[in-house]
Each structure stands twice: as C-alpha cells, then as structure tokens.
Amino acid sequence: MKRNIYVTALLMAGLVSATVYPVRAAGTQALAAEANNAVAIAQTAVDDARDSIQGGKDMVTKLKGNPALINEVKKVLVDASKSWAEALKALESAKATAAKVAGAPDLNKAKNLKMMTQVDASVAEANAKVVRTGLYFVEAAAANRTQSLPVIRDAMQDADAAAAQVKFNREQVRNILAGK
C-alpha cells in the first residue's frame, strides 16, 4: 500500500512539473517578447535621434550672425549631448536586461527583469526625444526661423522635464525591486 502511494506521488509530481514548466517557459517567453518590444521602440527613438544629430551637424555650419543665438545653440548642443549619452547608456542597459528575461529562474524574476527593461527603455526613449527636440532648435536657428524658437524652447523644457521624471521613476522602480 505504501509503495502505491509513493508511486502515485511520483507520478503526480511528474505530471505537475510537466504541466508547470511549459507554463513558466511560456510565461517567461511572453515577458521576454514584451521586454524586446520595449527595446525595439527605444532603439527606433535612438536611431531617429542619431539621424537628427547627423542633420544637426550640417545645420551648425549654416549658423551666422546673431552671437546670442549662436551661444544659445551651443548650450542646446551641450544639453543634447548629455541626453544623448544618457539615451545610449539606458538603451544598452535595457538590451542587457532584456537578454536575461527568457532565462530567468522563475516567473517573478522574469517579471522584474521585464519591468527594468521597460523603464530603461523609457529613459532611452525620453532622452532621445530631448536630443531630437534640441536639434529642431538648431535647425530652426540655422534656417533663421526665429519666430518658431520660443515654441521649440518650450518643447525642449517639456521634453527635458519628462526625461527627468522618467529617470526618477526608473530609480524608484530599482529601489522597489531591490527591496523585494
């Protein structure tokens, strides 16, 4: 009788593990797909910013005249450079974290890794938008479209504030996940 219970327990354990493992694997694969999607969106934003930088280099050579405007463009380019570095750093972090999601030892770890991937990807995307907005300013200044500069200045401030908030949120998520 004890032997039958033991055999039944082994069979049940095998059945449970055979049904649970595919669910975990499917769950982590779905999470990995979500993480990779977040990285792809951030990569597109960074690529668009890279294209804007190339165009901005051409625009800088067209700047003439107004020394105050040229100084403002220099400041915008310095700020855009910092955002560019942050975007690249966050994108690399998102890629590295996304690569770990599918191989996570359990579903909770996979969820946490996916969440970190998404927040890093959001930081990359937000900073890429700051770069693009800054380069719109350079383009408008080079084309002497000074009437559009106040609107672009406001957009730059908004993009910068949004990027700072996303970065703050990333740190909050990191702290929460570190406490788990």
Tens of pLDDT, residues 97-136: 999 999 999 999 999 999 999 999 999 999 999 999 999 9
Residue indicated by tokens 């910068």: 160
**Both tokens assigned to 140:** 């408008």
Q: What's the structural domain count of the chain?
A: 1
Q: Residue 25: which pLDDT band, with cuts at 50, 70 and 90?
A: low
DSSP 145: -
* Site of tokens 């406001």: 154
Residue 83 belongs to domain spanning: 2-178
State the Cα–Cα distance between residues 52 and 23, nearest whole angstrom: 44
pLDDT at residue 10 greater than cutoff 70:
no
Instruction: State the sign of the Cα–Cα–Cα–Cα dihedral 120, 126, 127, 128.
Output: positive
pTM greater than 0.85 (yes/no): no
Q: Which pair of tokens denotes residue 30?
A: 């779905």
Residue 84 identity (one-letter amino acid): W
pLDDT on residue 26: 60
What pLDDT, on the 0 to 100 scale, is given for residue 29? 92
- Check which CATH number belongs to the domain holding 145 and give it: 1.20.120
